[in-house]
Amino acid sequence: KMRTMRRAIIDNPAMKQKNAFLRVRDEGDKITLTYKQFNDLSVDGAKEYEIVVSDFQATIELLKSAGLPYRSFQESKRETWKLGDAEIVLDEWPWLNPYVEIESNSEAHVREVSEQLGFDWNNAIFGDVMAAYRSQYPHLTEQDTVGNILEVKFGDPLPELLKK
């Protein structure tokens, strides 16, 4: 079942230096606070720590009061399946073609599942959602992120950042 998700992205100069950020996300069935850090754009290049919180807006307000206001509010839609030990996710984001994300306990298993699903491993893209945006909008640089757009919502017009 496709569910709409909302997230607030929060960072500061110290986090940016480490290619990291905080995310408060309403996943429909739970609300999470996550610290993500990307060491490299490989299948296992992301470090992630996540806790469940009880209130989306209150968590955003708590972080804002601690000097960490959000820099981007984002919507997406997600459908999740399990195939053995793998999680397969269909993600939809504003201004982006839908894409599939496969997560498992090893690169070999991710590769195996992707091949079972008929995907060509040579076409795989690794990283966060910006890897998908950069694939669709090749003019984007590493510094250009949807996190630089204050509101990322379905139905909004294409932002200047994504225009060629």
Segment 46-75, tens digit of pLDDT: 789 999 999 999 999 999 999 999 999 999
Q: Does a structural domain hold residue 33? A: yes
Share of the chain above pLDDT 70, in %: 96
Q: How confident is the model at residue 19 (pLDDT cuts 50, 70, 90)?
A: confident
Q: Does a structural domain hold residue 162? A: no
pLDDT in the model for residue 33: 99
Q: Does a structural domain hold residue 100? A: yes
Helix (H, G, I), strand (E, B) or coil at 54: coil
Q: Does a structural domain hold residue 161? A: no
Q: Please give the single-letter amino acid code of residue 32.
A: T
pLDDT in the model for residue 41: 60
Question: Residue 27: which domain range?
Answer: 3-154
Q: Does a structural domain hold residue 159? A: no
pLDDT in the model for residue 47: 87
CB within 8 Å of 12: residues ≥ 6 apart: 67, 68
* Mean of pLDDT values over 124-134: 90
Distance in angstroms (rounded) separating the CA atoms of residues 10 and 64: 9
Q: Does a structural domain hold residue 163? A: no
* Mean of pLDDT values over 73-89: 96
Q: ∠155-119-124 over CA atoms, to 5°?
A: 70
Q: Does a structural domain hold residue 108? A: yes
Query: How many structural domains compose the chain?
Result: 1
- Residue 121 clears pLDDT 70, i.e. is over it: yes
The CATH number covering residue 26 comes to 2.40.320.10
pLDDT in the model for residue 142: 87
Q: Does a structural domain hold residue 164? A: no
